[in-house]
Amino acid sequence: MMDLDERNVSGCGLSSMMNKKRVKVDGQAITKSMRNLRERGNGLGAGFAAYGIYPDRKDYFAFHLMYDSKDAKKNTEDYINNYFHISSKEPIPTRRTESIIDPPVFWRYFVLPQEKFLPTDGDSEEDFVIKKVMHINTGIEGAFVVSSGRDMGVFKGIGYPEDISEFFKIEEYKAHTWIGHSRFPTNTPGWWGGAHPFTILDWAVVHNGEISSYGINKRYLKMHGYNCTMQTDSEVVAYLFDLLIRRHRIPLEYVSDILASPFWKNIDLEEEDQRQIRTALRMVYGSALVNGPFAVIIGHNGGLMGLSDRVKLRPMVAARDGDWLYISSEEEGIREISPSVQNVWHPRAGELVVGELEKN
């Protein structure tokens, strides 16, 4: 029996799968993969993100909410009604599970911002949504936005991956991209909102490691309107990807140069053009540099990515099998769902693994 108070700083299990042609599979495969990585967790948190699960409502922002009380639900719904058109709302289906004790209440809302509130100062519809999500998480007691992207959703909580999968009936959802996490908390408490994945809009991040630059990253993100509220260092990664790629439009090939920047001694050895670019990125985005041991998998509506720190102090394995891309913390997490896969590799330290979905 594993001691729940034990700390294992190299723990956390990560697994993911993406079909570039948008072929969908149900949640049994990712659950099977995560069950195989069970020893990397200790029951204090697990979760899944799924993409393509709401095709009939794909134009709406899908808000997944957890509530601790009836007042929290009423206050949140009043707030959402004030700023959004609600196309539909419903409880997120769950089942009684022996290992899940006293869970929060989960609802989902399919919404669009009311046009009269949309910003005219250059901000986008997505920026408006972020501000409202941040307000709910910081200003309404007992309410928490689990995810807020289009045509995707996050299902997470306290338990092992198979417990969370059973509780949320993951096998009933079909998605073209899945990411999963089994958490072994290091410096942060285990609570329902603090389980992985961490999200903003359609960005969902699972993380193994410890971000020692959390304080700097948190202050930098606050300057850009992101409030860290989840009591964990991993949260900053989701916001950094949104800031760099969606808002600042940084090309993917340079994202790793910001988040997992090469050492100065290596930048100095580059050809002049590349040296100038990487020097400029390091100077402009120095506060976005993520320090400490980490391996992250990032899901979004365009595909799947994986990135490890510049020394690769946390494991990451990738594989391709036809139209499928897999990224995991261990090869066995991949072979559990694709036993005969041949194209397996260990990404280099700081290398961004990218899988892109084909256009519809």
Q: Residue 358, SS3?
A: coil
Q: Is 12 considered catalytic here?
A: yes
Kindly name the residue from 10, 11, 12, 66 that is annotated as catalytic.
12
* Environment class of 88 (CB within 10 Å of its CB; exposed 0-12, middle 13-18, buried 19+): exposed
The answer to whether 159 and 197 are in contact (CB under 8 A) is: no
The answer to whether 301 and 242 are in contact (CB under 8 A) is: no
Please enumerate in sequence order all residues whose Cβ is within 8 A of that of 65, keeping only pairs 6 or more positions apart, or say none.
73, 76, 106, 107, 108, 109, 136, 143, 144, 145, 146
| Residue that the structure tokens 């992101």 belong to | 226
The β-bridge relationship of strands 105-113 and 61-67 is: antiparallel
CA 333 from centroid of its chain's CA atoms: 18
Closest CA to 255 of 350, 327, 163, 169: 350
Q: Distance (Å, rounded) from C-alpha 76 to C-alpha 141?
A: 9
Sign of the torsion angle spanned by Cα atoms 66, 69, 74, 76: negative
Rg (CA), the chain: 19
Q: Distance (Å, rounded) from C-alpha 48 to C-alpha 164?
A: 8
Closest CA to 61 of 108, 94, 96: 108
- What is the set of active-site residues? 12
